[in-house]
Amino acid sequence: MVKGRLEFTKRWLDYMNAIHFPYEIIIADGEDDGAVESLVKNNKTSTDLNIKFYQFNTHGGYASYYSMLAEAISLAKTKYVMLCDNDDFIFPKGFESIIHFLDAHHEYISAGGEIVNFKINNLLNTAYGNDVIFLEPYKYFRSDDPQMDWESQIESMFRDFQPYWYNVYRKESLQAIADELCELGLSDLVAMEFYAQLRTITLGRSKQIEGESYYLRQRGTSQNSGDINFFEDLIDRNLPQDIQLISHKIASKVKDSLNIAPAIKTHYANYLTNLLAHTILRYRFPKLFLLKTFLLSLIESIPSILKIPFRYFSQLKIKQKYYYGRGNDAEIKTFLEIIKK
């Protein structure tokens, strides 16, 4: 699922070709300017990959995005599917371990491992750079879902959100979620992720396999971040309707669902309360926000020579614990060669 950011798609194709990724790749391009199609067809690094390219037009907003998502999944001919952004990377060993787990445990409809992270040139939104820092993985609060009564499960999911979006799914399960997103037409992508997570556990079990790194994400490149006025963006959304749609749809999929819809509304409201508490500092107390920004800039202005020992030992610890020695050493070497090229 791509739109723009051609240099990231080029980088992604170079990596997948270098690691000889053996599985089917579907590229759904929402930009409709022909640039990605030309890259795929004319780039010699992608000739050995099993790529099927499809052109879409997503200028109709989120509705056209949901439609592209559903159609792209339907085009897959495989038993399992996984979504991947063009600024992220897959580790085949972890990916295959997840497939083996799903093959052996039919009650699970999705599974993932540890999602590890990196940044380039201090979170600069760029595809290439020499200053690559490895970060700790996303924190997972639950290795197995659902694991408690529904109301407690819903509270936990809104309080301790963990990403399912990049799990490996049984195709029919992710297809059902995508089709329902088309039907619901949610106005907010965070609401979409909450719906996908809630709907996943109504379809079956989900597993996060500890100690298995399978997905490497770049921080600081989100197309939904940047210089966005939070409150203007909030006004452009229709969150009350989104919450109503989500709560009623999920409740309709759960037996004994009397308290499901009220629980979703309550805990979504708690999530928004906490989000606003963090966001409002910038707008309600601008001087305090500027002070915080100033203090952070002081830390960043510390001469690099003084940071080297701390960063060296911090990176050594993170690399040894989460990156190297997990069967991904060759892929990490390839990744670094491409990033720093």
From first to last of the 341 residues of the chain, give the pLDDT tens digit: 888 889 999 999 999 999 999 999 999 998 878 888 888 887 666 668 999 999 988 788 899 999 999 999 999 999 999 999 999 999 999 999 999 999 999 999 999 999 999 999 887 889 999 999 999 888 888 889 887 788 888 999 898 888 788 999 999 999 999 999 999 999 988 899 999 999 999 999 999 999 899 999 999 887 554 455 656 766 778 888 999 999 999 999 987 777 899 999 999 999 888 877 766 656 566 666 666 666 666 665 555 555 567 677 788 888 888 889 889 999 999 999 999 97
With respect to residue 119, please indicate whether it lies within any of the assigned structural domains.
Answer: yes
pTM: 0.87
Picking from 144, 94, 83, 146, the residue whose alpha carbon sits closest to that of residue 116 is 94
CA dist 184 and 69 (Å) reads 14
With respect to residue 27, please indicate whether it lies within any of the assigned structural domains.
Answer: no
What is the reported pLDDT for 288?
Answer: 63
Full residue range of the structural domain in which residue 144 is found: 85-339
Give backbone dihedrals phi and psi of 181, rounded to 5 degrees, phi first: -65, -35
- Structure token digits, residue 3: 């739109």
State how many domains the chain has: 1
What is the reported pLDDT for 183?
Answer: 96
Picking from 276, 249, 285, 225, the residue whose alpha carbon sits closest to that of residue 176 is 249
With respect to residue 12, please indicate whether it lies within any of the assigned structural domains.
Answer: no
Q: What are the residue ranges of helices labelled H in the chain?
A: 6-18, 35-42, 62-75, 92-104, 150-159, 171-184, 189-203, 230-236, 239-251, 260-284, 286-300, 304-318, 329-339
With respect to residue 77, please indicate whether it lies within any of the assigned structural domains.
Answer: no
With respect to residue 10, please indicate whether it lies within any of the assigned structural domains.
Answer: no
- Structure token digits, residue 9: 């798609």
What is the reported pLDDT for 40?
Answer: 86
Radius of gyration of the chain (CA): 21
Sign of CA dihedral 37, 40, 42, 48: negative
With respect to residue 5, please indicate whether it lies within any of the assigned structural domains.
Answer: no
Residue 244 in contact with residue 269, Cβ under 8 Å? no
What is the reported pLDDT for 292?
Answer: 66
Element (H, E) at 325: none
CA dist 243 and 36 (Å) reads 35
Residues in the chain: 341
Picking from 153, 150, 228, 152, the residue whose alpha carbon sits closest to that of residue 189 is 228
Residue 272 in contact with residue 263, Cβ under 8 Å? no
With respect to residue 75, please indicate whether it lies within any of the assigned structural domains.
Answer: no
What is the reported pLDDT for 281?
Answer: 59
With respect to residue 47, please indicate whether it lies within any of the assigned structural domains.
Answer: no
**Measured in Å, how far apart are the chain's first and last C-alpha atoms?**
25
What is the reported pLDDT for 46?
Answer: 63
